């Protein structure tokens, strides 16, 4: 069963989908959408097209584990995703995913200006792979 991970942001949303076996990240991309309702509908369509069975949404927590306004926004988005897609949404602690994504892009020799366009997709891949690794261990 395929799993889709989502790194939700106000301007860009990173998406990553596993291979059919649910073991590895197969594809990652970004979606430009600022409207939460439209974003949820578009993600539901992408999930249906790719035969996804579970959605994993990054939950931004503070370094001390507490939750702030961004986490509340993610919880609201999770409820929309469940309603629009009919799929279960797993909230996944995404602390440091964007920092790690920037580090990966930097190590790959990508220029900082390019990071903005791809960092969300890389962060979604990290969220997805973390979830898959935990699920399959």
Fold of the domain spanning 2-136: Nucleotidyltransferase; domain 5 (3.30.420)
Delimit the domains of the chain by residue range.
2-136
Structure tokens that stand for 78 in this block? 């999770």
What is the per-residue pLDDT across 19-73, written as a single tens digit (0 to 9) for each? 999 999 889 999 999 999 999 999 999 999 999 999 999 998 777 777 788 889 9
User: Whole-angstrom Cα distance, residue 22 to residue 99?
Assistant: 25
pTM for this predicted structure: 0.86
Closest by CA to 85, choosing from 49, 59, 60, is 49
* Predicted pLDDT of residue 112: 63
* Predicted pLDDT of residue 109: 62
User: Whole-angstrom Cα distance, residue 9 to residue 85?
Assistant: 19
What is the per-residue pLDDT across 84-137, written as a single tens digit (0 to 9) for each? 999 999 999 876 656 565 555 566 566 666 656 677 888 899 899 999 999 988
Q: Dihedral sign, CA of 50, 124, 13, 83? A: positive
């Amino acid at each position: 069963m395929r799993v889709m991970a989502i790194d939700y942001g106000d301007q860009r949303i990173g998406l990553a989908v596993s291979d059919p076996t649910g073991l590895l990240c197969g594809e990652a991309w970004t979606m430009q959408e600022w409207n939460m309702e439209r974003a949820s509908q578009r993600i539901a369509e992408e999930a249906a097209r790719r035969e996804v069975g579970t959605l994993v949404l990054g939950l931004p927590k503070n370094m001390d584990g507490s939750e702030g306004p961004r986490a509340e926004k993610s919880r609201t988005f999770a409820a929309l995703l469940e309603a629009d897609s009919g799929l279960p949404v797993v909230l996944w602690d995404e602390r440091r995913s964007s920092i790690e994504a920037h580090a990966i892009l930097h190590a790959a020799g990508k220029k900082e200006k390019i990071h903005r366009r791809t960092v969300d997709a890389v962060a979604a891949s990290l969220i997805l792979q973390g979830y898959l690794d935990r699920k399959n261990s």
